[in-house]
Amino acid sequence: MQVQNIFRYFFTLSSVLIVLFVASPVVAQTDTTATEEEESEPKAKPLEVGHQLCIGVDIFNPIVNSFSGAKSSYEGAISYYLKNEYYLAAEGGMGGSKADYDDLKYTSNNYFGRIGFNKSLLTRNSDHDWDMLFAGMRVAMANVKRSAATYTITDTVWGDQTGLSEAKSFAAVWAEVTLGMRVELLRGVMAGWNLRAKFMMNGRSFEDVAPLNIAGFGQGDKNANFNFNLYVCYAIRWHK
């Protein structure tokens, strides 16, 4: 109840003690006024967020590629707002690596895809507020092809030995936990980052000669990798 109404009630009760026949209409008028004010107060409307389809491309890995001739990785992302601050997320890309050492030489390439969800950790200020800090999970799979690998084993007693490991194709499967942020810079134009922790689920399938780099995952000889993405996105929105 507003402070003004409280003072009115105190004034009315005092008037009753002083002049009973004057106080009665005053009380009635005050009650009516308070009721009208309460009824006239607008009720908060629930947010009608609508739909958003966001398409983005990672610009961090191409920058890293320019400084490294041994590996490459390119990827994009798409997300769709579901409800209750949940977003369906899908990502995919391609890349490869080249091992060119004195004792080991081979190349590899792969395509990959991820699917999962993001959950925004921020409360919306309005229907037009699409800035978000989020956490999410992914499951991912890559189709990896490795060329024949030539290797040399150095032995000072029996002499060096050269061998060949045949070309191989295999599937890499991993899970991810991600934390990220998206900020709208211009209308429909967003930018943000993702930090990712990745855990290989079937690492034993390529223990003989692991790829130097699996695009989308990282070093092939590790069961866990951590990496970073920097996205530029465009959002398409429409109302329900």
Q: Between 51 and 2, whose confidence is greater?
A: 51
pLDDT at 202 over 80: yes
SS (H, E, C) 79-123: EEECCCCEEEEEEEEEEEEEEECCCEEEEEEEEEEEEEEEEECCC
The total number of residues shown for the chain amounts to 240
What average pLDDT does this structure show over 68-78? 92
Q: N- to C-terminal Cα distance for the chain?
A: 36
| Mean pLDDT lowest among 4-13, 48-57, 219-228, 230-239 | 4-13
| Mean pLDDT lowest among 161-165, 177-181, 216-220, 227-231 | 161-165
- Give the Cα separation of 145 and 110 in Å (integer): 6
Determine contact, residues 190/184, Cβ cutoff 8 Å. Answer: yes
Residue 2 — pLDDT band, cuts 50, 70, 90?
A: very low
Residue 240 — pLDDT band, cuts 50, 70, 90?
A: low
Residue 204 — pLDDT band, cuts 50, 70, 90?
A: confident
Q: What is the pTM of this model?
A: 0.76
- Give the Cα separation of 66 and 62 in Å (integer): 6
| Mean pLDDT lowest among 56-60, 127-131, 156-160, 187-191 | 156-160
Total Cβ atoms within 10 A of residue 217? 28
Highest averaged pLDDT of the listed ranges 16-25, 39-48, 194-203 = 194-203
Residue 46 — pLDDT band, cuts 50, 70, 90?
A: low
| Mean pLDDT lowest among 8-22, 132-146, 198-212 | 8-22
- Give the Cα separation of 2 and 194 in Å (integer): 47
Residue 156: CB partners within 8 Å, gap ≥ 6? none
Residue 88 has what pLDDT? 98
| Mean pLDDT lowest among 58-67, 146-155, 229-238 | 146-155
Residue 6 — pLDDT band, cuts 50, 70, 90?
A: very low
User: Per DSSP, which regions of the chain are E strands?
Assistant: 51-58, 71-81, 86-100, 104-120, 132-146, 149-153, 161-165, 168-186, 189-200, 224-238
Determine contact, residues 221/209, Cβ cutoff 8 Å. Answer: no
The pLDDT tens digits for 84-116 are 999 999 999 999 999 888 888 999 999 999 999
Total Cβ atoms within 10 A of residue 12? 17
